[in-house]
Amino acid sequence: MSTIRRGRGYAIYIGLGALLVLIQVSGSVNMDVFVNVFVPYFLMLSLGAWLCYWAAKKLETHLWMFLLHTHRATIDELTGLPNRYRTLERMNDLEMSGKPWTLLVIDVDHFKQLNDTYGHLAGDAALRHIGQTLERICPPSGFVGRYGGEEFLLVIEGSEEMAKVAEDIVQTVRHTTFEFQGERIPMTVSIGAAIAGHEPSVVVFERADAALYEAKRNGRDQVRFA
């Protein structure tokens, strides 16, 4: 909006300036000069001022549309976290950097049962709750995003704190109260973790995903390491 305000202000400034000039000279020059020189001058300046305002308004509209599409392309609308595309992009950036990094694949336990029991609105609220919890406890060197469905990814630079971060997530989700329409609903997550070696990020994901399924087979609400 500031661009439009500046454009409008500039247009008003030019228009008033041209009008004052027109009034000032109206009595000091002969009518032919006034009509043939100053009136066209006033009209051209007024047109230029209007074009400046119109261009500023169009620029503002296109800028807002660009920001909106950029936001939608990288942000998950339900949780407000980075979406699958942005999270995989972050993984690729770390892979290309050559630095050590860790991937946690986090899955909400019994999510289908929650949806069937309490409804999809409760499921959506549960995903937002988990997303906010992960965002709150994500370490400064970490990056958390929603991969899809009830699955989240947490990417961490380095590997030294991997076990502690993963265990903290399981404990925090287990002990953080989630309420929907006045009813407390227990929530837990299972996590598969993998430290990236000299391998593509897709291979790291496959190892972490396999560890996640091992955690689920062994009773859920726990971490398994690849």
Ramachandran angles phi, psi of 103, nearest 5°: -120, 130
User: Do the Cβ atoms of 196 and 212 come closer than 8 Å?
Assistant: no
Is 199 considered catalytic here?
no
Residue 105's nearest CA partner among 151, 140, 142 is 151
11/3 Cα distance (integer angstroms)? 12
What amino acid is encoded at 204 in this protein?
V
Catalytic residue chosen out of the listed positions 150, 157, 179, 206 = 150
Catalytically active residues, by annotation: 150
